Amino acid sequence: MLRESGSLGMFNTDLIELKKIIRNNLIDNDSTVKLLLNDLAADDGKLIRGTFTLIGGSFGKIEKEKLINISAGVELLHLATLVHDDIIDEANIRRGKKTIHSTHGVKSGLFTGDYLFSQAYVIFSKNCSNKSIIDVSETIKSICRGEINQFYSLYSLDSTIKSYLKRISSKCASLFSLSLSMGAYESNANIDIVKKLKSIGYSTGMAFQLIDDLLDITSSDRILGKPSGNDIREGIYTLPVLYELRRGNAHLRTYLKEGNFDEALNLLKNSAGLKKSRETAQRYTNKALILANELPNTDESQALKRIITKILLRDY
Amino acid sequence: MLRESGSLGMFNTDLIELKKIIRNNLIDNDSTVKLLLNDLAADDGKLIRGTFTLIGGSFGKIEKEKLINISAGVELLHLATLVHDDIIDEANIRRGKKTIHSTHGVKSGLFTGDYLFSQAYVIFSKNCSNKSIIDVSETIKSICRGEINQFYSLYSLDSTIKSYLKRISSKCASLFSLSLSMGAYESNANIDIVKKLKSIGYSTGMAFQLIDDLLDITSSDRILGKPSGNDIREGIYTLPVLYELRRGNAHLRTYLKEGNFDEALNLLKNSAGLKKSRETAQRYTNKALILANELPNTDESQALKRIITKILLRDY
C-alpha cells in the first residue's frame, strides 16, 4: 500500500533505511536459522506500523537512526505475531508467498516467531526506555489474549459483537496504538500528543482489522495475496457474520451449521451486515481523523491522515 | 529436587516468596487466559534457575524484593520455553501433569508461551538494566537456535557429537548461565565473579541436560513425571545413542532405522555409550565445581556447590 503511494514520498529515504535495518536484523550465524530468516526477509510487507512509528517520532526530538531502529523493532514484532498467527490460522500463503510453517513445519515456525520477538526486544533494549519495553510486553500480552479468545470462540454462533470488538482491539488495535505512540514517547513529544497518538492508533487499528475482515469476504485470492474466505472456513466469525446472525438471517445460520461455506460467503457479499460493518469501520476512521486534526499541522500529520483514509479504502 | 533438600534451608523464606511472586504473575483479568495460567500455577517445578539467580545476587548488593522478582522472571522465561518445547516434543505430560497444549490445544499453548515470555519481560523491564534485557533476549534466541537445529536433526543417524553438544549448549546451558550471572550483574557484583558465574552456570547446564537425556533412557515414567524413552521415540538422538553409533553398534543402528524403539532402549540401558555420557556429565560437573571453589567462600557458594553435585546425582 505505502510503496505505491506517491503521497508518502517524504518517507522514501527513511523507508529504504527501515527495510535495510529490518533485513540486517534477519541474519543469524547459524546456517539453519539463517535459512528460515532469509525466507522472511524476501518481503517487506506494508510497513504501516513502522511508518506510524516514524510519524510518531516526528512530534518530538530523536536521532533519526534511533527512531528507524525502533521502527524496525515494531515491524519485527509484527512479523513475529504474523508467523505465530499463521500457525494458528493454518494459513499457507501470506503476502503472496508460502508461510514459514507451511515450508519448514510448525515447529520451525513456532521458534522462528520466538526468535523474532527476542530480536525485536534486542532492538528495543538498545534504543528505548524501560517504560516502552513494558508497553511492548503489555501489547504482546494483549495480542495473546485476543488470539486465545479467538480460538475459544471458533465456530460459535453465539459470539457477541462486543466480544468481537474486544478481540480485534486486543489482536490488532493494541499494536497500532503502540506503533504510533512509541516513537513519540521515545522522542519526548508532549504527553498530550502521545496520548492522542495512542487513541488515533487504536481507532485506526480497529478500522484496519474491520476492513481486513471485510476483504476476507469480498476480495479475491489474487488481490489479497492469500486465500479469501479463510476466516469463515476456519470458524472465525467476523462482524458481518455476527450482524447478520443478530438480525436473524436463518439461511446464514444453516449454512454455517452445515459447513456450507461457499453459500455463506455468497450470501454475505451483498448483505446488510457487510454494509453495516463497513459503516463501523468508517466510524472508527472518522474518530481517528478527528483526533488527527487536533495534532500540530505538519507534513507528518498530513501524511498520517492520508494513511488513515487509505486504510479504509484499501482493497488488499 | 530443591524442595526436598534440607541443605538448602537457607533459601526457604526466599523460595516461598519466589513461589508467591510467580503465582502473582500468572494471573490475568481475561477469564480464558486466567484459566490457562491457572493450570500452570499449580506446580512450581524445581526452581533451580530461580535459585541460581538468588545465589548470584548474593555476591553483590541488591534489594531482596528486586532480586526475587528477577528470579521470578527467570522462572517464567523457563516456563515459557517449556510450554513451547512441549508443543514441539508433542509431550502430553510434564511435572506429572497434563501439558497446556494437550489440555487446551496447540493454539492455546503457543500463545500462552508468548504471554509468559512477555510477562517475564514486564518483570525484567521493571527490575533490570537494559544490558540484562539484551542478555535475556540473546538467551531466548540461543534456545530457539537449539530447538530449530534439534528439529532439523530428527531421526538423523549421522548427527555428530559436536552438533549434539552445540544443541544442548544453546537449548539448556545458555539459560543456566544467564540465571546464575544475571542476579550477580544486577546486584553490581565484581565483574570477575559475574564472568565466573556465567561459566559455572554454563557447565552446570551442560551437565543438567546430559543427565536429563540419560534419565530419559534409564528412568521410569513414574519417577520422571513424564514418559521415559520419549526422546528416542521422537527421533531425538542424544549422546548415548551417538556414542554407540560412532563405535559402530550395528544392532542399535538397525533398531533405530526400523523404529524398534523398545529394543533400542533396552540396548542403551547398559551400553558403553551411556557410561561414557555419564562421564561427560561428570566432567562438566567437575569443571563447574572447580570454578565454584574460586568464588568467595559464603553460605551461598557452598549451597551452589551442593546443587551442582545434586544435579549430577538426581534421578528425576
Q: Where are the domains of chain A?
A: 6-313
Whether residues B111 and A136 touch (CB distance < 8 A) is answered with no
Whether residues B118 and A138 touch (CB distance < 8 A) is answered with yes
Percentage helix, strand, coil for chain A under 3-state DSSP, each rounded to 5:
75, 0, 25
Q: What does the DSSP 8-state code read for residue A7?
A: G
Residue A56 near residue A181, CB atoms below 8 Å: yes
Question: Which of A89 and B13 is assigned the larger pLDDT?
Answer: B13
What's the grid cell of residue A13? 529515504
Model confidence pLDDT, tens digit, residues A100-159: 888 888 888 999 999 999 999 999 999 999 999 999 999 999 999 999 999 999 999 999
Model confidence pLDDT, tens digit, residues B61-120: 999 999 999 999 999 999 999 999 888 877 788 777 788 888 888 888 999 999 999 999
Instruction: Write the single-letter amino acid at B244.
Output: E
B 207-246 residues inside an 8 A Cβ radius of A? none
Whole-angstrom Cα distance, residue B152 to residue A133? 33
pLDDT band at A4 (very low <50, low <70, confident <90, very high): very low
Whole-angstrom Cα distance, residue A260 to residue A262? 6
Question: Distance between terminal CA atoms of chain A?
Answer: 8
Q: At what angle do helices A239-246 and A261-269 cross, to 10 degrees?
A: 80
Number of neighbouring beta carbons within 10 Å of residue B157: 12
Residue B71 near residue B18, CB atoms below 8 Å: yes
Whole-angstrom Cα distance, residue A10 to residue B301? 59
The beta-strand segments (E) located in chain A are 93-94, 97-98
Q: Which CATH number is B6-313 given?
A: 1.10.600.10
Chains A–B, number of C-beta pairs less than 8 Å apart: 143
Q: Is the pLDDT of residue B316 over 90?
A: no
Note the pLDDT of residue B228: 78
Instruction: Write the single-letter amino acid at B81.
Output: T
Burial of B58 from C-beta contacts in 10 A (0-12 / 13-18 / 19+): buried
Per-residue CA distances from A301 to A28, A74, A87, B281 (Å)? 37, 20, 36, 61
Using the Cβ of B31 and the Cβ atoms of chain A, whether some distance falls under 8 Å is answered with no
Whether residues B33 and A114 touch (CB distance < 8 A) is answered with no
Angle (CA) A124-A128-A130 rounded to 5° is: 95
What's chain B's Rg over C-alpha atoms? 19
Note the pLDDT of residue A1: 44
**What average pLDDT does the segment A184-188 reach?**
98
What's the grid cell of residue B293? 571453589
Whole-angstrom Cα distance, residue B147 to residue B153? 10
Picking from A172, A243, A249, the residue whose alpha carbon sits closest to that of residue A212 is A172
* Among the partner residues A33, A141, A148, nearest to B145 by beta-carbon distance: A33
Note the pLDDT of residue B187: 98
3-state SS, one letter per residue, for chain B: CCCCCHHHHHHHHHHHHHHHHHHHCCCCCCHHHHHHHHHHHCCCCCCHHHHHHHHHHCCCCCCHHHHHHHHHHHHHHHHHHHHHHHHHCCCCEECCEECHHHHHCHHHHHHHHHHHHHHHHHHHHHHCCHHHHHHHHHHHHHHHHHHHHHHHCCCCCCCCHHHHHHHHHHHHHHHHHHHHHHHHHHCCCCHHHHHHHHHHHHHHHHHHHHHHHHHHHHCCHHHHCCCCCHHHHCCCCCHHHHHHHHCCCHHHHHHHHHCCHHHHHHHHHCCHHHHHHHHHHHHHHHHHHHHHHCCCCCHHHHHHHHHHHHHHHCCC
Note the pLDDT of residue A8: 67
For the ranges A101-110, B135-144, B240-249, which has the lowest average pLDDT? A101-110
What's the grid cell of residue A83? 508467523
Q: Is the pLDDT of residue A224 over 80?
A: no
**What average pLDDT does the segment A210-238 reach?**
86
> Alpha-carbon torsion B59, B64, B67, B68, what sign?
positive
Whole-angstrom Cα distance, residue B92 to residue B225? 11
Distance from the Cα of A207 to chain B's closest Cα (Å) equals: 23
- Kindly report each contact of residues A291-295 with a partner whose C-beta sits within 8 Å and lies 24 or more positions away, as own/partner: A291/A196, A291/A199, A291/A200, A291/A203, A292/A200, A294/A196, A295/A59, A295/A193, A295/A196, A295/A197, A295/A200
Q: Is the ipTM of this complex over 0.90?
A: yes
* Among the partner residues B106, B111, B119, nearest to A148 by beta-carbon distance: B111
Using the Cβ of B126 and the Cβ atoms of chain A, whether some distance falls under 8 Å is answered with yes
Closest residue in B to A152 (Cα) is B32
Model confidence pLDDT, tens digit, residues A194-212: 999 999 999 999 999 999 9
